[in-house]
Amino acid sequence: MIARGVRLLALGAACVLLVAGCSSSPPPEASSASESTSQASNPCANPDTFCIGLVLESGVVDDGAFNEASWEGVQEGAAATGGEAAYFESTDAESYAANLDDLGSRGYDVVVTTGVGFPEATVTAAVAHPATRYVGISQNMSEGPANATGLLFRDDEAGYLAGYLAGLMTQTGTVSAVLGSESVLPLKRFGEGYRLGALAARPGATVIMSYDNDSADSFNDPEWGAATTADQIAEGADVIFGAGGTTGIAALQTTAQSPGAGTTLFCIGIDVDQYETVPQARPCLLTSAEKFIAEGVSAVISDIYAGVPTGQNVEGKVGLAPYHDMASQVPESVKLRMVEIETGLANNSIMTGVTF
């Protein structure tokens, strides 16, 4: 948490700006009244201020998953650089693009974006504002301008680890996943990795894959997530992977509230250690398939501030979170096997089989 106080800005979407101190402070002295007023309303107009903005494509910042980890990383980056951090929640694709453009116009030094399914919006904003560095989380910027960097993760490997564990832990021979739209490529890699991991651990297992392809906002459809999870449990699934914003969180919560949770019925989270961010899932939570988003975002921000070349894409880390309360439910043989699988993925002696 950065002890830098709070201001509110209006960009057509909700935002929070953290600034030096624990209360609002006067702007730096300026040579003219108009310049002073401009810097007071827009601190990023001051060239001595290193400004970092996070633009959320959908959902809320405290979602217990992707958004929350992204904001944590931005705050850590601000703390490491002595900068100021703000987040902006978007209501739709139009407001998302407008926020990306607005921050560039306001002179933000770094803008971090979460539009996993809309990398073109990050590219468009970066082209329009070459003085601002845009960082797209899970967005491939290999074809983007020089001021755009993609923070990429091996989503398939994280999913494979989750699936392999599910395959080792299932007693019914049926595992499942509740996911957002498969049109979002990184999420589909997560899902396919999970499916192939489960089959590698237990050949012949039934893997139920349910993608929310019809919702207007597939990452924020908890009703669908809960209902789909209940159906999967009724079909015999005893390890459920919840992946995709509040949709996936609803899958975890539904599993946690079902008979047998923590003994014969388990769940696996995504993106962050959801034992910490979704305590309601603890009764069933084996682990979480983590992308170390906060760590990756903070590192990229620090490199940009220090002038370290990042290239068009940088790679973040993935792995499984601790077993926490479920440690006693996971046999030692399973724990040892999972260490072997994680090591094999890291040194490329094991491949997930995901090719897209």
Residue closest to 263 by CA, chosen among 322, 312, 325: 325
Please indicate, yes or no, if residue 8 is contained in any of the structural domains. no
Helix (H, G, I), strand (E, B) or coil at 92: coil
Most distant CA atoms of the chain, gap in Å? 74
Q: Residue 280 sits in a domain of what CATH number?
A: 3.40.50.2300
The reply to whether 351 falls in a domain is: no
Rounded CA separation 105/102 (Å): 5
Q: What is the mean pLDDT of residues 273-299?
A: 97
**Domain carrying residue 130:** 15-152+295-302+309-315
pLDDT value for 200: 98
pLDDT at 3 over 50: no
φ, ψ (nearest 5 deg) of residue 260: 90, 0
Q: Are residues 271 and 175 in the same domain?
A: yes
pLDDT in tens, 147-199: 999 999 999 999 999 999 999 999 999 999 999 999 999 999 999 999 999 99
Q: What is the pTM of this model?
A: 0.83
Sign of the alpha-carbon dihedral angle for 340, 282, 116, 148: negative
Amino acid at 319: G
**pLDDT tens-place string over residues 114-140:** 999 889 999 999 999 999 999 999 999
Range with the poorest average pLDDT among 12-16, 51-55, 63-67, 115-119: 12-16
**Do residues 106 and 221 both lie within one domain?**
no
Cα separation, 237 vs 171, in Å, equals 9
Q: 50 with 189, same domain? A: no
